[in-house]
Amino acid sequence: MIQNSPFKPYRWLANRHLQTLWPSQFRQITQLAFQRHAIPTPDQDIVYLDCVGKSPFTNNSENLTSKDKTNSPLVLMLHGLTGSSESKYIIGLQHAFARMGWRSITLNFRGCLEHPNYKAHSYHSGHTEDLQTIYLLIREAEPDTALAALGFSLGGNVLLKWLGQQEKPPSLFAAAAVSVPFQLDICADTLDQGFSKFYRAHLIRELKNSFELKKAYLLEQGLQEEYQRIKQLPDVSNMTSFWEFDHHITAALNNFDSVHHYYQVSSSRQYLKHIKVPTLIIQAADDPFICPTAIPTNQDLSTYTTLELSEHGGHVGFIGGTHPKVNSYWLDQRLAAFFSKLWQESKKDRHRK
């Protein structure tokens, strides 16, 4: 179902672009202590996981009391395009979950941390394979832990697509996605218009820089086969739009026929009706990345899925407050409350059984 969001921005931050830019430019927040794990993928590549709290991938059971052996809830988080575990919105939620006594793990998509990945391809808006790999590893390590998942922007699209692809509901008590590009072609068009070109220019520049770094890294590491896959692609220096980059680079490296094929297969909107995990989607109508026509309708949603739509909020913004110097990062509060509520409900359901 679709319902109105209770979010209200502070009046001087109601503008969609201020909401979008403020957190990344002005939010002051320190990163919590974490453990980093390098996880090999089935295709001989690598991703990095940053774990806040007791990690499922570290065996400390010998030194734990019986009380400590009862694992606290764990939230798996997915960042947005060109983001990482160092993104402010990720760190904000790490703090929010830590205050609840919960743990969190951030999946850094391929090539988003430490160094470029080992393959010519990396990650994209529909790449669910690494999420599946990490989910199974967590469940193997901690089969009974209360587990939830949370995605932002591109990570939200990946999460929703993955949820909708599952024939059997994954063992999650809840999921949430924020500021999702539900239809990638419409999003690409939106970013070609007005001030949204500013975000497009920034993201494309980051993608091109990563592409060139990857090319140099593969050559340096002697990964000739992967290097040749990249070398034969067109020069990216003059590419300015997602349509160009995704056609010549993303689609070509990930075995899509074209950018149209990539956008069609990878857009999450078509998968929403198949989701069978309690899922909250938080979206702003004024998101400068998303045209309102891309926002799902009730007909697109499964009975497990709630779309909470607000008039304001920008793209992964949602900043409220009562004073210019005291801003509230509402997403931290809303998502913590949502997951806490669903966890309590799941515990009651288990007790009834």
Residues with a known catalytic role: 153, 287, 315
And the tokens for 182? Answer: 């539900």
Q: Directed axis angle between helix 88-99 and helix 16-26, to 10°?
A: 70
How many residues are listed for the chain in this entry? 353
Give the Cα separation of 234 and 66 in Å (integer): 58
- Name the packing angle between helices 88-99 and 330-352 (round to 10°): 50
Q: Residue 331: what are its φ and ψ, rounded to 5°?
A: -55, -40
DSSP H or E run through 23: helix 16-26
66: which residues sit within 8 A by CB, 6+ positions away? none
- What phi and psi, each to the nearest 5 degrees, are found at residue 251? -65, -45
Tokens of 38: 């390098």
CB 317 within 8 A of CB 17: no
3-state DSSP assignment of residue 34 = coil
The dihedral sign for the CA sequence 111, 114, 118, 120: positive
Q: Which two tokens stand for residue 240?
A: 């300015």
Alpha helices in 175-271 (DSSP H): 184-190, 196-220, 224-231, 242-245, 252-253, 259-266
